[in-house]
Structure 1
Amino acid sequence: MLFTQGTRKLLAAALGALSFTAFAQDIRIGFNADQSGTGAAELGVAARHGFDLAIEDINKAGGIGGRKLVGLIRDDTGQPPKSIQNMTELIDSEKVVAVIGPTNSGNALAWLHIPQQKKIPVIGPVATATDITRRYASEPQNYIFRVSMVDREQVSLLVAYAVKATKNQKIAFIADTTGFGQQGTKDLTEVLALHGQKPVAVEKFGPKDTDMTSQLAKIRDSGADTVIVYGLADANAQLLRSMEKINYLPTTLGTWGNMSTPLLNIAGKKLAEHIIFATSTAEDSNPRAIALAARVRERYPQMPTFVAAAQSYDSVMLLASAIRKAGSTDGEKVAAVLDSGVPDTQGVVKLYKAPFSKANHDALSVNDFHLARWKDGKVTTYVDAVSKSLTPADFKK
């Protein structure tokens, strides 16, 4: 087919317009997390708030290369089949360039192969299972990243504190009977051994149990003055109530799941203050956290766990920095930038300087964590003489 010079000019103009339209298309980012189905749903809700506000801030600043970010939200209800379905839909049908999520570690482990095969970067702002970022570590490109607490890293902090806090060198563990709790017990035992100690008692409880007095009586009789508990917030609230029943309130430590409001609602405000837990940030940790918490509470007065909002906000900011540097939304190019050195990015938790590398896809480590507790109905930073004395040399992994 022959075209006249005028036709060729019109065609070129049309193609140029088409090219500009393609460039100007929105950048679609998926969010897939439990927001309604399990005891961890509060974390997913909070993460969605952080996700939304980060996108809003990026778009207010002009987007990325003039392109607006659009978030596509999916609730997986805490169920692996639903989470798998959501990932498939987001990647294949919605054509997202990356995904933020999930809430539950089990869901992540069920679908990691999908973004890995499709070359779609994922940044996890909540799920803590150590293996999530390591499953594909030996692949030429690992597409799974995380800005969240990591189980083994939390244990490192909790045990370091326990070893210095105990007055009689008697530390005990109690954990739920789920895979989460039993893996936690394994990690606790191994890390405590690195400090040259063994637990004086190790007890279990069912995740739906409401009376743990018999297990706690055994721990009390072992002489333990410090107890580390590994369970979700609702069960841990029942544990605190059981401690109160037998008038045994040792130094009690736990993981970041204790920031969920079931602990507060079931145990009550005063008793909930007894447990000290690991976190990456709290509402009062720094000026950025204070500002984000105020924004979230303005829109969502019943804001759940703030730390998940902060980590999700930071996840989006790091993704945006990588896309800018890559000059592309191609998953392979974006993941390569995340690996090779995403530009310095100010987040809520911290200033991220090359947070990822080929060998490490976790942006946060025990050196970024600190202790917190409930105080007057809010999660606040916890500081005492023991926490002030902790140094990186105390963190054994």
Structure 2
Amino acid sequence: MSRASLLPALLAGVLALGAHAQGAPNVRIGLIVPLSGGSSDMGNSARVGAQVAVNEINEVGGYLGRKLELVIRDDQADNDTGLKHAQELVTREKVVATVGFCNTGVAMKALDVFQANKSVLMVPCATGTAITAKYPPAESYIFRTSARDQLQTQFLVDEIVKRGLRSVALLVDASGYGDAGLKDLEAALQRAGLKPSAVVRFKVGVKNLEEEMKQLRDSGADALIGWTVGPEQGVISAARAAIGWKVPQFGPWGLSHASAYAVSQGRVDGGYMVQTVLPNIFLERNSTFLRNYAKLSKEAPIGSMMSAAQTYDSIHLLLRAMFDSKGDLSGPALKRALENPSNIYRGVVTTYDRAFSPTDHDAISGNMLWLGTWRGGERGYAYKEDERRASIIRRKEVVSTK
């Protein structure tokens, strides 16, 4: 987002609350992501996305003259390490809020720390349905800007039905992420009146899945859904190509990670994945964000554009909550402000009219998803008509609870 588009919100806050005294301490925001290990493409992209947002905000005055500062920790995609960092940031570093977690298992182990201390956690990457379901929204301090797995699985099954495919093979990793994803996949298939032709599980870290792929092929399936993270998505694509199985390959957002492309040596090309955002030069916010990202990181392709954009938007949503809380940066005040925003925020992923409410802490709804694909080493829209319609912003669909 350009500096000019930031100024109205920031200046309004300054006028309403008054300029903050010089020399005030920075506003510290925790960031817990996997900067090393198999999920590092997500984590490093999230880190750069957060820094882009912080740099932009600080260039136009920060929060009432106070600079934003990221307090960054590497959870290494390890549950215990993530828990340790959550405790450290909340109880010792006293961050005003935390943006964090790319892995569902790591997030789930740390949630109690934020809830018990009434400290806001904004989850920009991890997608396990249970993350925002563990506590009732009215009581919860957990918010999320990524698309939960329940939405992604339904989206994929709807696409499979639309294509007239009837026999789906499932290749799912044996992690907590895989367990939860398989549950959501089977529920979505059941709602469509379908049963998987075969279900095969595998360990995270596997380097070859050709035998498993042959088993799935022999089940007579006409579609494949691989449910895992980036590197293992690459292993799935490589195995499918190695045995010459031509059925369409579908996957959650992990199929869009750069690690999937690298591990498969490009054989993810043609695979279909769920996306909240894709590179689009015709969208000003999108293209500006990508230019600013490129100033901090020259990676090509970006490890995970979704991680980067969703984290960027998370920082800006927190900033607006700080202004709405009128100087009270306590957890309860930020929670109320996030649930009752005074203005819309035009982000990279979407325009957030009411991202959160007292009954809903997920910013993304099913109507906001796109079907993406790999094409020549670049991520793009699977359907040309989607690319043409992308300028029509898909805003959150609010489901009535009455």
TM-score scaled to structure 1, two decimals?
0.86
Q: What is the alpha-carbon distance in structure 2 between the residues aligned to residue 20 and residue 291 of structure 1?
A: 29
Q: What does residue range 228-247 of structure 1 map to in structure 2 within 5 Å?
A: 228-247=225-244
Per-residue CA deviation, residues 108-135 of structure 1 (Å, 9 max, x unaligned), is 1112111212221111111111111221
Q: What does residue range 373-388 of structure 1 map to in structure 2 within 5 Å?
A: 373-383=373-383
Per-residue CA deviation, residues 6-61 of structure 1 (Å, 9 max, x unaligned), is xxxxxxxxxxxxx965993321111111111x311211111111111111111222
Q: Aligned with 1:242: secondary structure?
A: helix
1:284 corresponds to:
280
Q: What is the alpha-carbon distance in structure 1 between the residues aligned to residue 291 and residue 387 of structure 2?
A: 27
Q: What does residue range 200-349 of structure 1 map to in structure 2 within 5 Å?
A: 200-269=197-266, 271-284=267-280, 286-302=283-299, 303-328=302-327, 329-349=329-349
User: Which structure has the bigger radius of gyration?
Assistant: 1
1:366 corresponds to:
366
Instruction: Give the CA deviation at 1:216.
Output: 2.6
Q: What is the alpha-carbon distance in structure 1 between the residues aligned to residue 386 and residue 346 of structure 2?
A: 29
Q: Which amino acid aligns with 1:55?
A: V
Q: Which stretch shifts more, 82-91 or 117-126?
A: 82-91
Per-residue CA deviation, residues 316-352 of structure 1 (Å, 9 max, x unaligned), is 1111111101112122111011122352111100110
1:120 corresponds to:
119
Q: Aligned with 1:307: secondary structure?
A: helix
Q: Which amino acid aligns with 1:343?
A: N
Q: Aligned with 1:175: secondary structure?
A: strand
Q: What is the alpha-carbon distance in structure 2 between the residues aligned to residue 82 and residue 22 of structure 1?
A: 37
1:8 corresponds to:
none
Change (3 A) 1:223 1:388: farther
Q: Which amino acid aligns with 1:375?
A: R
1:134 corresponds to:
133
Per-residue CA deviation, residues 57-91 of structure 1 (Å, 9 max, x unaligned), is 11222222232212111112222222222222222
Q: Which stretch shifts more, 235-244 or 52-61?
A: 235-244
Q: Which amino acid aligns with 1:46?
A: S
Per-residue CA deviation, residues 132-159 of structure 1 (Å, 9 max, x unaligned), is 1221216x53111011121111101111
Q: Aligned with 1:131: secondary structure?
A: helix
Change (3 A) 1:313 1:387: closer
2:254–2:260 contact (8 Å) kept in structure 1: no
1:161–1:387 contact (8 Å) kept in structure 2: no
1:4 corresponds to:
none
2:32 corresponds to:
32
The number of aligned residues is 370
Change (3 A) 1:80 1:170: closer
Change (3 A) 1:249 1:88: same
1:157 corresponds to:
155
2:86 corresponds to:
87
Per-residue CA deviation, residues 251-305 of structure 1 (Å, 9 max, x unaligned), is 1100111222222112122x21131100111222733222212221232111421
Change (3 A) 1:74 1:177: closer
Q: Which amino acid aligns with 2:268?
A: A
Q: What is the alpha-carbon distance in structure 1 between the residues aligned to residue 326 and residue 61 of structure 2?
A: 15
Q: What is the alpha-carbon distance in structure 1 between the residues aligned to residue 373 and residue 358 of structure 2?
A: 35
2:253–2:274 contact (8 Å) kept in structure 1: yes
2:164 corresponds to:
166
Instruction: Give the CA deviation at 1:102.
Output: 1.5
Instruction: Give the CA deviation at 1:370.
Output: 0.7
- Structure 1 unaligned blocks of 5 or more: 1-18
Q: What is the alpha-carbon distance in structure 2 between the residues aligned to residue 339 and residue 386 of structure 1?
A: 31
What's the Cα RMSD here? 2.6
Q: What is the alpha-carbon distance in structure 2 between the residues aligned to residue 249 and residue 20 of structure 1?
A: 62
Query: Percent of aligned pairs with the same residue?
Result: 29
1:108 corresponds to:
107
Q: Which stretch shifts more, 346-355 or 335-344?
A: 335-344
Q: What is the alpha-carbon distance in structure 1 between the residues aligned to residue 109 and residue 338 of structure 2?
A: 23
Q: What is the alpha-carbon distance in structure 2 between the residues aligned to residue 150 and residue 222 of structure 1?
A: 29
Change (3 A) 1:130 1:22: farther
